[in-house]
Amino acid sequence: ANPNLCSLCSVPLFCWIIFKCFDHFHSTFDSHELRDITVTLTDIFLLMTEVHLNRTQKTNLLKKNTRSQVETYRTNKNILFSLSKIAHRGMQKSFFVFEQDEVLIDLSEQDLHLGFLRAIPDYGSCSDQSSYEFLHMTLQSFFTALFLVMEEKVGAKELLHFFA
């Protein structure tokens, strides 16, 4: 019933990601029933974030991940903050494509492979550097909102800037 979720599912890659997120959710809780609450786009992005971050955890293939969602976020707080800072900086400047140098200020090369950003050809210059973009504009919006929640220096004035 969520129109944003439906539009994401019209793209095969995002449909697969969403399916894998729900599959992970069901396997984690040993239940094939969804909770009795409405699933929002934020829920999907939180779940997707958890799945991507848990891929970095070295676990036995036969054992389920025992780390809680909160523990996953807490362990990866610096990575999440770095991604959210890039997203926020882009939204402030209406940028959706980021130069490699700009991205590597906040993220390590290893963090680029988590799956939140994708490399795109750099049409604007002759350099060998890649440019990056978030997988989807809504994912950049999610990380921008996460920045506004995580950054202690953000006040009401900056929050209202995004709603004007």
Determine the Cα–Cα distance for residues 50 and 25; give it in Å rounded to an integer: 10
84 and 145 housed in the same domain: yes
The 10s digit of each residue's pLDDT in 118-157 is: 999 766 666 677 899 998 888 999 999 999 999 888 877 7
90 and 130 housed in the same domain: yes
Detail the DSSP E strand segments found in 35-130: 98-99, 117-120
Closest Cα partner for 86 from 147, 131, 153, 45?
Answer: 147
134 and 102 housed in the same domain: yes
150 and 83 housed in the same domain: yes
Q: Between these two residues, 94 and 65, which has the higher pLDDT value?
A: 94
- Rounded to two decimals, the pTM is 0.78
Residue 17 predicted with pLDDT over 90: no
Q: Between these two residues, 160 and 92, which has the higher pLDDT value?
A: 92
State how many domains the chain has.
2
84 and 147 housed in the same domain: yes
In a domain, 7, yes or no: yes
The 10s digit of each residue's pLDDT in 72-93 is: 999 999 999 999 999 999 999 9
Residue 39 predicted with pLDDT over 70: no
Domain final residue pick, 38, 62, 86: 62
Determine the Cα–Cα distance for residues 17 and 44; give it in Å rounded to an integer: 10
